Amino acid sequence: MTGLTRGLAGRTAMVTGGAQGIGAAVAERLCAEGCRVLIYDKSAEHGRAAVDAWLAKGHEVRLAVGDVTDQAAVKAAFADVPDEWERPTLLVNLAAGFVFKGLEATAEEWHAALDPTIVGLSLVTREFVAGLPERGADAAIVNMASISAHIAQSGYLTYNTGKAAVLGFTRCMAQDLAPQGIRVNSVSPGTVWNANNERFHHEALGLDRATAESDPEHGGKFLLKRFADPEEIAAPIAFLLSSGASFITGTDLPVDGGYLAV
């Protein structure tokens, strides 16, 4: 995949939530593009397994373990960038709270839903920006939204509210950081067939991927009549980080198989 996007080779990127699923696919893609990648994830187990695999392939990758809502841990993660690496000028914010509740959600559940998605997003972005020069770093940020940020879904109040806030955060940061030449965008994926979704469809619905994708209430809701693979989300993220997207900021890119078109 090296060379498919412009201006990524030799850059340093941080990917939060990069140990599994879409995050791991993003890290893999950026490594393949020649980036040095700092993975920031709260799971030491999954993080070390992923990093060991990438190191074995010859990629330059490092793991920082911590919670995005822990300000001290966030600072430590950026401070732990190897001396021979450039300071990160690319940031992918994927860490989020996955709580699916309606109005019955407790205060604790709201915190679990919103703190990683918005507070953590803010803390990581602030630390990232603080380490950049005043101008000229060609820096770019991509935040993870969702089709759920754009629509109403019964029983998803906590999750959809958090993802809708990501859209607002992205637009505001794009405006505030434009004078420094920092671009800020988001992507809104549809359903992605990762380990969590596979487990949910199997355990809760008794469906394998083929059956779920052929079901009109699941894969059938997408124009392409299927779910995405994580790599299909990683590729647009890499594009938005690259110089190929140099005049794109403050926007959201749906990567949703046509879901929001109908």
In total, the chain counts a number of residues equal to 262
- Does the annotation mark 259 as catalytic? no
Contact 27, 61 (CB under 8 A): yes
Side chain identity at residue 149, one-letter code: A
Tokens of 114: 């919103």
Question: Rounded to 5 degrees, what angle do the CA atoms 16, 20, 24 make?
Answer: 70
Side chain identity at residue 150, one-letter code: H
Instruction: Exactly one of 40, 156, 159, 259 is catalytic; name it.
Output: 159
What are the C-alpha distances in Å from 78 to residues 12, 16, 22, 37, 176? 11, 12, 22, 12, 22
Contact 199, 230 (CB under 8 A): no
Could you list the active site residues?
159
